[in-house]
Amino acid sequence: MIADYILRQENVVGYIDFHSYSQLWMSPFGADCSKIPKDDEDIMEAGMGAAKALKDVHGKKFAVGRVCKIIYQASGGSLDWTYAEGGVKYSYAVELRDTGLHGFLLPEDEILPSSEETFAGVLHLANFIRMREKQWGYRV
């Protein structure tokens, strides 16, 4: 199980749970809307940068925010667990293309562009985490 794997590791610093659809880059928390991550500012900065990187590839805009603010209260999301229990600071749920026109049946000609922009967002996040590691002089 992913939970067991994360708990056995010493330094898991990023986690992304990919879904479709809606074009959203979401951070904790979803189950309890009164909770705000202690690292919210940093988590949001990384998420905003990832969404910009996504948009820069094919022009698709991804909204960024905490699950409770951007969609609705939603319990059972793995990002809440990875952040709160697994200690994974940069935990996200990403809703890929599109915004609802095709729903869960993304046309074949949109699969490659979706993967290209998603890769750009993930790469931005990895570089952001690495920059923080160097900036603060410790492993995130």
Q: Where are the domains of the chain?
A: 12-134
95 is catalytic: yes
Quick one: tokens of 54? 């996504």
Q: Which of 41, 45, 85, 95 is catalytic?
A: 95
**Contact by Cβ (8 Å): 128, 49:** yes
CA angle 23, 101, 67 (to 5 degrees): 30
pTM of the model: 0.92
Task: Find the helix packing angle between 40-58 and 111-136, rounded to 10°.
Answer: 140
Q: Which CATH number fits the domain 12-134, given the four candidates 3.40.50.2300, 3.40.190.10, 3.40.630.10, 3.40.50.460?
A: 3.40.630.10
User: Checking DSSP bridges between strand 90-96 and strand 24-27, what pairing results, if any?
Assistant: antiparallel
The Cα 33–Cα 40 span in angstroms is: 13
Q: Would you write out the chain's pLDDT as a tens digit for each of its 140 residues?
A: 889 999 999 889 999 999 999 999 999 999 999 999 999 999 999 999 999 999 999 999 999 999 999 999 888 889 999 999 999 999 999 999 999 899 899 999 999 999 999 999 999 999 999 998 888 765 55
The Cα 10–Cα 73 span in angstroms is: 30
